[in-house]
Amino acid sequence: MGNDGGSIPKRCELVKSAARNPTASELKETLREHLEHYWSTCPLSHKELLLPIVSDSAGNLYNKDSILKFLLPADDVEDISSKADCEVILKGRVKGLRDVVEVKFEVDDDGKGKKRWVCPITSKVLGPSVKSVYLVPCGHAFSEEAIREMKSDKCLQCNEPYIPENVIPILPAQESEKERLMSRMQELGSKGLTHSLKKAPGSSKKRKKNGNGTEESTAPAGTDSGAAVVAPDTSATAAKPQSAPSSRPDSRTSTPTPAGIKNAATARLTARVLEEEKERNKRRKIIGNSETIQSLFSSDKTREKGRDGDYMTRGYSIPTGAKR
């Protein structure tokens, strides 16, 4: 180690260099290595990225089969990482196929048998050295330069219209781009939409007209059914009295509506059931007063005549003078 006659150590070997911040070139090289990895490797399966490829709302790239296997039940996950590790990578951004968009790359052959993804407008190779974007909802990928220079509101390949907010950078490195994508998803979530601009599950509200002519909306599960009823427009009916009869008779509205039930359809059904129960009670009273029905059962008069039972319980009795 030194001072033994065998070797003489130098200062650089004995004194450690002070810690310093990485230079701009070192940071750039580190970022390039990071992008090269994620441009060529699926972070879920750690396999090579192969078409078809999908992207989430953060611009990350995945093999579509890896996403499909992640969405399967935990027992069916085989060759990708554990379910918990995948959830850490995805950070809750992917809950279904509506949360991803299939990225459609233009494939070109470099003449050596190797496939590469290129921009159909500028013919630049899409990768870590070229800033790339894709459009939602069609998913076609271009270089960011082509989209900026063309200044069009329709896809340059499929003529699908889009807005600037739906130009998604692929593997964004700048914090401003990441914040923009997060704010975009917050805005879409408030509208009940997913990354692919499709409606999120459970957010659709269907409207239908009930018997009173008012509109009723079916709210998602877990909401109050009374709150889903839309109040009728009173501006059109303010001029005419509320008690005016309808020009077309409706047998469904002849029954008085029970009080305390907000939903008109439920109130109408309840009133109909009560009316049927009332009719059944009337029929029971009429049957109970029938002499023919009462003659089948015992009474004080029948007991006086010597009958020992009613029609349902009376059996054959042997006379007292009969021989056995």
pLDDT (tens digit, 9 = 90+) per residue, 161-189? 999 899 999 998 888 999 999 999 999 99
> What pLDDT digit, counting tens, does each position of 219-254 carry?
444 444 444 344 444 444 444 444 444 444 444 445
The count of other CB atoms within 10 Å of the CB of residue 212 is 15
Model confidence over 80-92: pLDDT tens digits? 557 788 888 888 8
Work out the pLDDT band at 255, boundaries 50, 70, 90: low
Is the CB of residue 184 less than 8 Å from the CB of residue 191? no
Average pLDDT value for residue range 14-39: 80
Cα(84)–Cα(66) distance, rounded to whole angstroms?
Answer: 14
Higher pLDDT, 62 or 266: 62
pLDDT over 70, % of the chain: 64
The structure tokens listed for 119 are 């921009």
In the chain, pLDDT over 90 holds for what percent of residues?
15
CA dihedral 33, 35, 37, 38 (to 10 degrees): 170
Please state whether beta strands 115-118 and 101-103 pair in parallel, antiparallel, or not at all (unpaired).
unpaired
The pLDDT of residue 287 = 67
Decide which of 214 and 193 is more confident. Answer: 193
205-228 average pLDDT score? 47
Domains and CATH numbers, the chain: 25-190 (3.30.40.10), 255-311 (no CATH)
Residue 83, pLDDT score: 78
pLDDT at 205: 54
104 within 8 A of 110, measured Cβ to Cβ: no
Mean per-residue pLDDT, 248-268: 60
pLDDT on residue 136: 92
3-state secondary structure of 281: helix
Residue 141's pLDDT band (boundaries 50, 70, 90)? very high
Task: Quote the pLDDT of residue 302.
Answer: 53
pTM above 0.85, yes or no: no
Which residue in 157, 105, 114 sits closest to 133, CA to CA? 105
Confidence (pLDDT) at 92: 87
Q: How confident is the model at residue 2 (pLDDT cuts 50, 70, 90)?
A: low
Position 207 pLDDT exceeds 60: no
Residue pair 193/200 in contact by the 8 Å Cβ criterion: yes
pLDDT at 262: 65
